[in-house]
Structure 1
């Protein structure tokens, strides 16, 4: 479970998105990632505590329906489905871009469809097969980041025979540690928080775990510690080895990744190709995990009659085949945009993700506050600080939302995200509300209680 969540979180947000955060804050991006880790911790731990008590189908969306209202449960699940659909397509755009590093003649749309066939095949297998494959893909990424940290730390403090060790001097050169002031740390948070997208998978996978109460306790704790360690330390090493103005280059080309820049500086033959393979696997793993999450969310909505009933059907192996098929709409959209020659496909899709995922996280924390106020506690562990910690997380996410006033891409996200919320709200009050059967929600919780 932890590795599936890691598989979604350790994607292009780290390998490419970190360059944009560095561009906003310089070396102080390290502080942005540290703050982001704390906010992400409140989300993962609050969600983990609730899931240990209620490992329900639909995860945090079903919990929002129980502890807030059916409307918020409906909105949370549909928003998260939009997130997973968009992220799946976006990560496959990244995969196709990385493939072009070796095969520039292959068009992006063809690369998208080729990698789409791989992850759809994986998801159509049994749940157990999916878990094993995703564990393997995530393990490759985790090992790669660990190797990067070890090699990078050696270069920072010991250097090479032909290259002296820079130490931490680059962190304070070129304008100092805070070249753009403390406000830049805040602005960079809007980029950093996207990097932690995927931690919410802990709640969704709980319903299919053999021992959810025990599994979620271990997974929630280890996931956030690993992510904080990987992000903060690896970004610190990048900034200690590459001047921040150079590392802040952004774009879809793999050559702009700060991680590629570090390995290029090592001078080992083939280092760039190895790095390219690693970031490709990272993107493929994230796409795989998000297709899984999207299909499960849609299956949950259909089971509660909040989506077409057809999506509730499963194969003999328990796989929601229709949900998987419907959740490929983001892949199709990305391929069509790439085929039509529209530029900036990656950026267009990410603008929607940023708005929706932060909204989902906010609702998770508010659901947790209602969960604790109802006198309920986790079955196997409790989040340190309880409601206070959740409140800190809410304040942090509101601060990220506030960057809409100063960051153009966040304004685009709001222009796309707000109409999506309005459409979902209209659909709820005109169609979905009449279909809600509170006994279904109660039945889901009774089933989860028996599993626990």
Structure 2
């Protein structure tokens, strides 16, 4: 569909959802929008998953993160243009339904819901792992506080934050994200000082660690590509720029600002942070050992150089970062599920909002990832973190590809009312698509990605069959147009 409908529902109709409840509250400000996106993207992928990427590519993981930043920038800018023009519920999924087809809108939203569910569980696994950094151990070396107990504790915290109100969620997420943004800045500044000047107890290493132990790319330049399967997990969360548009006070300004600042911050934080880690710690040590996630490479940096208490402080900060990311993804998943239900593409009972206009039922169902993570941890299943991370990368790559294809369709029908244009337009989208396809190709050789594909491909097939046999007949034909009409009216009023 290439143009707006000739008529739209009445103003009163647009203020109320089909079940008689109001639409989602538009309560998020400019700073909250930017920090929510940062809250999801600046989490475990950087602080914890970076060790795995370094293990694959060595110091050349810095290059992997730089390429990942470029791909993420293409996605964020294209998505930001669409969302600022059409701040609809369901974000990029509703846009795909309008500019591609209802099926692609359905598939992209369900895939992204799977992403948020898995990320929420993954981040809580990380939170619980960080908590074990302080836990005393038993005679056999096992932490006194089991992993599943930490998951339950932090799950309770984020569920309460999400069910209160979107305003409270935005305020808390702003604080949590601000803490970790400041923490990363301090880490970079202190780390650069240590690299250049060192301490009396730890001489400055300079750039020697970047070329020691096999050189800058000890496993070959092909490993830079293989590491992308891990690196792109770090950028999952930029999609929140689109999802939060339906609850922004002034989406045209907020999304434009958030898209630009998020791209710059992520590129700056990721590349410099990883550069500091591999400059201060020999890459083989920073790589860690498989699923031994209780100690982040960031914590290791300060522990190794003997800064008193710095390891504990850093561990607290990375725990906050993971908690913030889990919080943001539970929010995103619940909004995506509520959008699907409102459009007749999911259980209709999940479209209901509370009196504070919060999708409490959708939040409860979106907590399934938390339950799965706790059960896996309780039963002692090995590789919880890496398996869930791979499933996230597999699914989010499909979502990103659909976002960029949607932008190409949208770009052909732009109406001149955009307040923000993605630099490069269609060219930027194509560059992003090439990058996404390149990363997706790692499924041919990366074992964890192959395991994720064994789950992801059947999930896509099942979703497609369900759409063809059941969902298509139940789909609310006018729901997408109603969402666009409500968003356009709000945008025209100027909030």
Would you say same fold, with TM above 0.5?
yes
State the Cα deviation string for residues 186-215 of structure 1 (Å, max 9, x = none).
111111111100000010001100000010
Partner in structure 1 of residue 422 of structure 2: 383
Tell whether the 8 Å contact from 1:17 to 1:250 is kept in structure 2 after alignment: no
Tell whether the 8 Å contact from 2:89 to 2:243 is kept in structure 1 after alignment: yes
Partner in structure 1 of residue 122 of structure 2: 90
Partner in structure 2 of residue 49 of structure 1: 81
Partner in structure 1 of residue 105 of structure 2: 73
TM normalised by structure 2 equals: 0.89
CA distance in 2, matches of 1:286, 1:375: 33
Do structure 1's residue 423 and structure 2's residue 462 form an aligned pair?
Answer: yes
Tell whether the 8 Å contact from 1:52 to 1:216 is kept in structure 2 after alignment: yes
CA displacement at 1:8 relative to structure 2: 0.7
Partner in structure 1 of residue 40 of structure 2: 8
Do structure 1's residue 364 and structure 2's residue 396 form an aligned pair?
Answer: no
CA distance in 1, matches of 2:267, 2:217: 21
CA displacement at 1:254 relative to structure 2: 4.7
State the Cα deviation string for residues 373-412 of structure 1 (Å, max 9, x = none).
2234672111111111100110111111111111111111
CA displacement at 1:256 relative to structure 2: 4.1
Tell whether the 8 Å contact from 1:9 to 1:199 is kept in structure 2 after alignment: yes
2:244 maps to which of 180, 184, 205? 205
- Pick which of 248-257 and 69-78 moved more: 248-257
CA distance in 1, matches of 2:487, 2:131: 42
CA distance in 2, matches of 1:197, 1:251: 21
Do structure 1's residue 185 and structure 2's residue 221 form an aligned pair?
Answer: no
Partner in structure 1 of residue 207 of structure 2: 168
1:306 maps to which of 338, 345, 365? 345
1:20 maps to which of 52, 58, 66? 52
Tell me the SS of whatever aligns to 1:337: helix
Tell me the SS of whatever aligns to 2:304: helix
CA distance in 1, matches of 2:43, 2:248: 24
CA displacement at 1:183 relative to structure 2: 1.1
CA displacement at 1:180 relative to structure 2: 2.1
State the Cα deviation string for residues 261-309 of structure 1 (Å, max 9, x = none).
2111331222221122111111111110000000000000010111111
CA displacement at 1:148 relative to structure 2: 0.3
Tell me the SS of whatever aligns to 2:346: coil
Tell me the SS of whatever aligns to 1:199: coil
CA distance in 1, matches of 2:123, 2:339: 24
CA displacement at 1:174 relative to structure 2: 1.9
Tell me the SS of whatever aligns to 2:418: coil
Partner in structure 1 of residue 8 of structure 2: none
- Pick which of 183-192 and 337-346 moved more: 337-346
Taking the TM superposition and a 5 Å limit, the aligned residue runs for 1:299-338 are: 299-338=338-377
CA displacement at 1:351 relative to structure 2: 2.6
CA distance in 2, matches of 1:28, 1:346: 23
Partner in structure 1 of residue 277 of structure 2: 238
CA distance in 2, matches of 1:356, 1:175: 34
Question: After the TM superposition, which parts of structure 1 deviate over 3 Å for at least 4 consecutive aligned residues?
Answer: 250-256, 375-378
Name structure 2 gaps, 5 residues minimum.
1-32, 136-142
Do structure 1's residue 36 and structure 2's residue 68 form an aligned pair?
Answer: yes
TM normalised by structure 1 equals: 0.98
CA distance in 2, matches of 1:274, 1:378: 48
Tell whether the 8 Å contact from 1:23 to 1:249 is kept in structure 2 after alignment: yes
Partner in structure 1 of residue 26 of structure 2: none
CA distance in 2, matches of 1:367, 1:315: 32
Partner in structure 1 of residue 144 of structure 2: 105
CA distance in 2, matches of 1:250, 1:260: 15
Tell me the SS of whatever aligns to 2:203: coil
Name structure 1 gaps, 5 residues minimum.
none
CA distance in 2, matches of 1:115, 1:109: 10
Distance 1:23 1:8, change over 3 A: same
Tell whether the 8 Å contact from 2:299 to 2:312 is kept in structure 1 after alignment: no
CA displacement at 1:346 relative to structure 2: 1.8
Tell whether the 8 Å contact from 1:97 to 1:252 is kept in structure 2 after alignment: no
CA distance in 2, matches of 1:354, 1:164: 39
Do structure 1's residue 282 and structure 2's residue 314 form an aligned pair?
Answer: no
CA displacement at 1:252 relative to structure 2: 4.3
Partner in structure 1 of residue 296 of structure 2: 257
